[in-house]
Amino acid sequence: MEITEVLRHGIVTEKSTMQQGQNKYTFKVALEANKIDIRRAVEAMFNVNVVSVNTMRMPGKSRMMYRRRRGSAPRLKEAREWKKAVVTLREGQTIDALKA
């Protein structure tokens, strides 16, 4: 897997911006990526030193899908599963692209 395929995009939520004070940054990553791939991708793309990588698989949630037709019943649709990685950087280093 190439480095550019590992990281999908950064996640900016209230919790993730609070963790940036502790040098922790959150990314949505490819399902097939492991911790070593994620570490190499972050170090290569942002020119920082990674101390640790924590990953978690986020389950797809059930959603109701409604149609515009008259009399049609709503259907249940399952969203895709995705993977999230929390990357801890060395003290004093930051990723400016994810600063809120």
pLDDT digits 0-9 by tens, 18-27: 999 999 999 9
pTM, two decimal places: 0.85
70-93 tens-digit pLDDT: 767 778 888 899 999 999 999 999
What's 54's domain CATH number? Answer: 3.30.70.330
Q: Which domain holds residue 28?
A: 3-98
- Our count of domains for the chain comes to 1
Q: What is the pLDDT of residues 20-77, one digit of tens each?
A: 999 999 999 999 999 999 999 999 999 999 999 999 999 998 888 877 777 677 788 8
Residue 100: the pLDDT is 62
SS3 content of the chain, % helix, strand, coil (to 5): 30, 35, 35
Distance CA 85, CA 38 (A): 8
Partnered with residue 42 across adjacent β-strands are none
pLDDT band per the 50, 70, 90 thresholds, residue 98: confident
